[in-house]
Amino acid sequence: MNDINNEGHQKSSNIITATELKSNLGTYLDYVIDNNEVVITKNGKKAVRLTPYLTDSDRYFLMKEKALDYRYGGKKVSYEEFREIYEKSDMRMEFINGEIVLLSSPSIIHQEISGNLYVGFKEYLKGKGCKVFYAPFDVHFRKEGFKDPDVMQPDLLVACDVAETTDEKGRYMGTPVLVVEILSPSTRSKDMVDKLNTFMISGVREFWIVDPDQETILVYGFKDLDIDHFRTYRKQEAVRSYWLPDLEISGNIVFP
C-alpha cells in the first residue's frame, strides 16, 4: 500500500472511500498525476480506480520499472547474490550495507557539474600516474571490520592504483584516493551518511559532496579511518583538495 504525504495533508492509503475523495480531491489528483493509482470504495466495495493518463507504451515501461523496483530495490542479499543479480541485469544498482539500491537517471545540472569536475580533474592529473573516472563505474569498497564490501558507482573518482588492481576481466578492484558524489533529492541522506561512512572506513582519502541547490562543495579528509578534515566551499571560492597536492578548482567553473 502506498502512502500520500503531501505537505499540509494527513497520510492516507491508496485505497480510499468516496467521501475521502470528495474531501481531498486535489490531493488525490496530485497523487495520481505522480504516476500512482487510487482505488475508491463505495459501501465497502471497490468501485472505481483512478490512474494517470498514459499511452499504452508509457504504461508498459512504467509498470515494468515498478516491477523491477519491487523485485530488487531494498532487497537484502549477500555480496555473492548481488554480483549474480547485477551480472544478469541491465539496471544501474549499488550494494550498500547488504541492501540493493537502484539508481535513477541523473538530471541535466548533475551531468553539467560532473562534466565540469571531470575536466578539472583530468587537467590536473596529466602526467601524475592517477586517473579520473565517471559513473557508471563500479567500485568495491572493502570496509574495515566487515566481511562484505559495498559496491557503489560514485559520480566521479580519482584512482592511483589502477594498474595493480585491475582484474582479469578488466574491472577495477582497488580503492580510490578521492570520491565525488553530486547530491539529488533521492540520494541526499544516502550520500551524506551511508556513503560517507563507507568511504571513511574503506581507505578512501578524500570525499567531495557537491550540493547543486546550495552551490556548495563539502570536502572531507580521512586519516586512520576517521575524519581528519572538513570544510565547506561556496561557488565564489576555489575548492582545494585535502589529499592531492596543489589541486584547486574554481567553484565558478564547477557550477553552471
Per-residue confidence (pLDDT) for residue 7, from 0 to 100:
40
Give me the pLDDT at residue 158, please.
97
List the one residue out of 112, 216, 229, 127 whose CA is nearest residue 178: 229
In this predicted structure, what is the pLDDT of residue 88? 80
Which residue, among 164, 157, 125, 121, has the nearest Cα to 139 in the 3D structure? 157
Grid cell, residue 202, equals 574503506
All 3 cell numbers of residue 35? 504516476
In the block, cell 566487515 appears at 146
The pLDDT score that the predictor gives to residue 74 is: 53
pLDDT of residue 102: 83
Rounded to whole angstroms, how far apart are CA atoms 249 and 24? Answer: 50
The pLDDT assigned to 87 comes to: 83
Q: Which residues pair with 204 in a beta bridge?
A: none
Q: How far is C-alpha 104 from the chain's CA centre?
A: 7
- Cell numbers representing residue 112 in the block: 553539467
Q: What is the pLDDT of residue 114?
A: 96
List of the chain residues with pLDDT < 50: 1-13, 57, 59-73
- For residue 55, the model assigns a pLDDT of 56
